[in-house]
Structure 1
Amino acid sequence: MIEYIYKRYTNSFHVTIDSRNVKAGSIFFALKGEYNDGNAFAAEALKNGAALAIIDNPNYLTKGCVLVDNSLQTLQKLAYYHRQRLNANIFAITGSNGKTTTKELMFVVLSKKYKTKATIGNLNNHIGVPLTLLSLTPEVEFAIVEMGANHPGDINELCRIAEPDFGLITNIGKAHLEGFGGFEGVKNTKGELYKFLVSKKGTIFYNHQNSILVDLLNRYEAQNAIPYSNFVDDCIIDETNTNPFLSLTIKEKENKVGIQTNLVGNYNVENVMAAYAVGRFFGVDITSIIDAIESYVPSNNRSQLIKTQNNTVIMDAYNANPTSMENALKNLAKLNASKKVVILGEMLELGEYSADEHKKIVELACKMNFDKIILVGKGFANINSKFHYFDSALECVDYLKHNPLANATVLVKGSRGVKLEQVINAL
């Protein structure tokens, strides 16, 4: 069955799980979601030009459909089957913070020399990784595959589908604690990438300054591990820089290069180091690496600097956990700005750790003497603080409309589910 589906797939090298996104010759996979059953859209996908519709409900069987036991498992099997036939180098990235930014930086760097593709957006789970692999055409030389995890075993599962040749963990912090049962669970799950690469004799890149990653490498007795220090003798942040963007100097043996990024936050330095080291390892010349990093502009509410009519906004509302929240607050505290305001959304998926972690963030913010602190979301509800609190982003928007901010540098940081991006129009 997989051989048949694969043969049809190679006519277009395009699969989709959205009947509205069908191209001529696409393979449509009917997946069951939280609100919709993809089987119900199989006929529409075929009408829109799909070559096949993969379904797992016989009630929707019609001409052009292939009935399987499980559409998702078939998608994953097809991706694995395709992976075995690819000549591309597969580079896996995971981590608690910075994996998407690192992926994007690596993509622009490696694209200077190779035909490169990378995970689009945040398609980094058990559905997204197969879709990424199936987007790879034969001429692709490098594929950068982002891998996310919410539970133990998730990274191992994704590795077994993608079979990466190379990989790195950006860092390991307090993210998705509810699903992992604590920090050790996070560490063990992210470490599944190291474990897989060691078993397959793949190559690991790592931040030599991160003791947690070094401990993991020692645990798995990694032999083929490349520290960033092979290419970065020293990385110096320009603390005299008065704008919010990260400016740094990388020293490498006799080379000394300055890089002015469009990334807000000094915590992005490890993401830049990763892209620089990987680029150098794969033979991208230094000038091209610098040009790629300096030209990259973040999007999708990730450390974006937005100038509104009244304020300067650091929009970082794509995701949040205790580690990234602490980094963002410390970065704002260092900025040279006369008026600083923070709008913090709750951090989701912390489970039993939620109350304690939200309290710690509020205590940290208290010490930083910001001009105003606004808290949004029920994670902050029971904290006895003097700050403005709102249950939802929309309530916060209403407050800001009646109490407008002006001439302020505003950090907007919170988990994606809080939808803090809604406040931008009120700033």
Structure 2
Amino acid sequence: MTIEQLYQHYIKNRLIATDTRNILEGSIFFALKGEKFNANTFAADALGAGASLAVVDEEKYATDDRFILVEDVLQTLQDLARHHRKQLHIPVIGITGTNGKTTTKELLFAVLSQHYKTFATKGNLNNHIGVPLSLLSIDDSVEVAVIEMGANHQGEIAFLSEIAAPTHGLITNVGKAHLEGFGSFEGVKKTKGELYDYLKSHAGVLFIQGDNEHLTEMERQRNIDKVVRYGFSQSNAIVGRLELANPFLKITWQRNEGPRYTVDTQLTGSYNAENILAAAAVGAFLGVTDDEINRGISGYAPTNNRSQITKTAHNTVIADYYNANASSMAAALDNIAFIEAPQKAIILGDMFEMGEESFAEHQKLVVMANSIPVQRTIFVGKAFAEHQHEAAEFYKTTEEARKALLDQPIKDSTILLKASRGMAFEKLMECL
């Protein structure tokens, strides 16, 4: 079966499944493989659950004409998504970056949805499987799409860009993350810059934080024709100012010397100011009115423990433990230092995938955190434990930290809770 023939099956129901627990009637099931699973073995179950076709790549499982035998199921899924993308004649905004890409994606969705039928990547479906699944979720009613693209090794953004074919693009920032895969900070810049390369070669529109020296250097190297700048200096097309961050952000913004607007947000973290301006810049360029932009920004509330403020019975917790890297950790510490509160505490957990720079980067954060005047500073994890310091508490595991917090509770404080997802810091919330 050709991709075009498979596509004709797809457009009958526009339902794709990769998990037999989520089969809807008429779905096409793709039997993906991983290190610890082989969904070919579940293909018959998928058909029994209501799938119309099962795409497999092992001949022994293709027992009748409801099974489509291909050389590689994942490649077929990607090819189908690439084919579907070619049928979509809408703006597609590609987003990547070390920090803030999911929040920026959600802000973009909130702003653009005020004016257009908008699709945005769900959750963290931003990799070589998630991007194709996201594209195949776009139907004919969608007027603009926002596709998040993540990467942990070089070449990945280039590959995802060829599938998503963004007409517009945005890199939130570049920082030290996934260094095991990228090799170095320069490797991060090279990989994220693959989005700029795609926009350059396809006459796309670039949105850029014009005050970010790394991003502007990357843009100058490529000499991209269509660039929209946002930031905090007057040289940008969208100019903003952070008015308050205590803990929720209040910002002012204006475009091209137009009216200046003040917006109260539900976001914490001064680092989110530029993400807000990015959403304003994209919205303004695509014809969203100023009032609609303001409604979208003020109405957005973060979820999934990304700079999410949670009021517990005893404290105010800045829950930011979905992910962590050196630059996002430093930004979170800057923010807690800036916030005015009678009592504050810092609880940091290990950063993963830092490669050879892990020791040095964890050490920098210990020094930085200990320089901030708070009532209590706690470090959790084996990487942080290598930097024991009498000015703070160190625990090798989250469970050890949980017991310590139960024995000596923190009360009436504003608490930063930040770690890589694998540290399972949600276990600490019950103690706070």
Name the TM-score class by shorter chain: over 0.9
Distance apart, 1:413 and its partner CA? 0.3
Cα displacement string for residues 291-344 of structure 1 (whole angstroms, at most 9, x for unaligned residues): 111010100010000001111100000111111100101100111111111110
Is this contact kept in 1: 2:228–2:237, CA < 8 A? no
Please list, as runs of the form range in 1=range in 2, the aligned pairs for 1:358-373 lying within 5 A after superposition: 358-373=362-377
Task: Report the counterpart of residue 120 of structure 2 in structure 1.
Answer: 118
Counterpart position of 1:389: 394
Which letter does structure 1 place at the counterpart of 2:26?
G
Query: Structure 2 length as normaliser, TM-score?
Result: 0.96
For residue 405 of structure 2, what is the amino acid of its counterpart?
L
- For 2:253, which of 250, 260, 266 is the aligned residue? 250
The alpha-carbon distance between structure 1 residues 402 and 59, as it changes in their structure 2 partners (threshold 3 A), is: farther
Determine if contact 2:378/2:393 at 8 Å carries over to the other structure.
yes
Q: Distance in 1 between matches of 2:237 and 2:297?
A: 15
Partner Cα separation in structure 2 for residue 184 and residue 78 of structure 1: 33
Contact 2:121–2:148 (Cα < 8 Å) also in 1: yes
Percent identity, aligned pairs only, is 48
| Structure 1: distance between partners of 2:281 and 2:236 | 6
Separation (CA, whole Å) in 1 of partners of 2:360 and 2:236:
40
Change (3 A) 1:233 1:284: closer
Q: How do 1:319-398 residues align onto structure 2 when only pairs under 5 Å count?
A: 319-386=323-390, 387-398=392-403
Task: Specify the alignment match of 1:426 in structure 2.
Answer: 431
Gaps of 5+ in 2: none
Aligned to 2:143: 141
Structure 2 Cα separation of the partners of residues 62 and 287 of structure 1? 58
Scaled by the length of structure 1, the TM-score of the pair is: 0.97
Determine helix, strand or coil for the equivalent of 2:217: helix
Following superposition, the deviation at residue 35 of structure 1 comes to 2.6
User: Partner residue of 1:271?
Assistant: 275
Secondary structure of 2:54's partner?
strand
Moved more, 183-192 or 41-50: 41-50
Give the distance between the partners of 1:233 and 1:196, measured in 2 at CA: 24
Match of 2:180 in 1: 178
Distance 2:259 2:327 in 1: 33
1:399 aligns with 2:399: no
Equivalent residues of 1:232, 1:273 under 8 A apart: no
Kept in 2: contact 1:116–1:142 (CA 8 A): yes
Q: Are 1:5 and 2:6 an aligned pair?
A: yes
Equivalent position amino acid for 1:150 in 2: N
Q: Determine the structure 2 residue equivalent to 1:318.
A: 322
Contact 1:232–1:250 at 8 Å: present in 2 too? no
Q: SS state of the match for residue 304, structure 2?
A: coil
The CA deviation at 1:232 is 4.9
CA distance in 2, matches of 1:118, 1:264: 22
Moved more, 29-38 or 310-319: 29-38
Secondary structure of the corresponding residue to residue 333 of structure 2: helix
AA aligned opposite 1:334: F
CA distance in 2 between counterparts of 1:281 and 1:75 reads: 33
1:206 is aligned to 208
SS of aligned partner of 1:338: coil
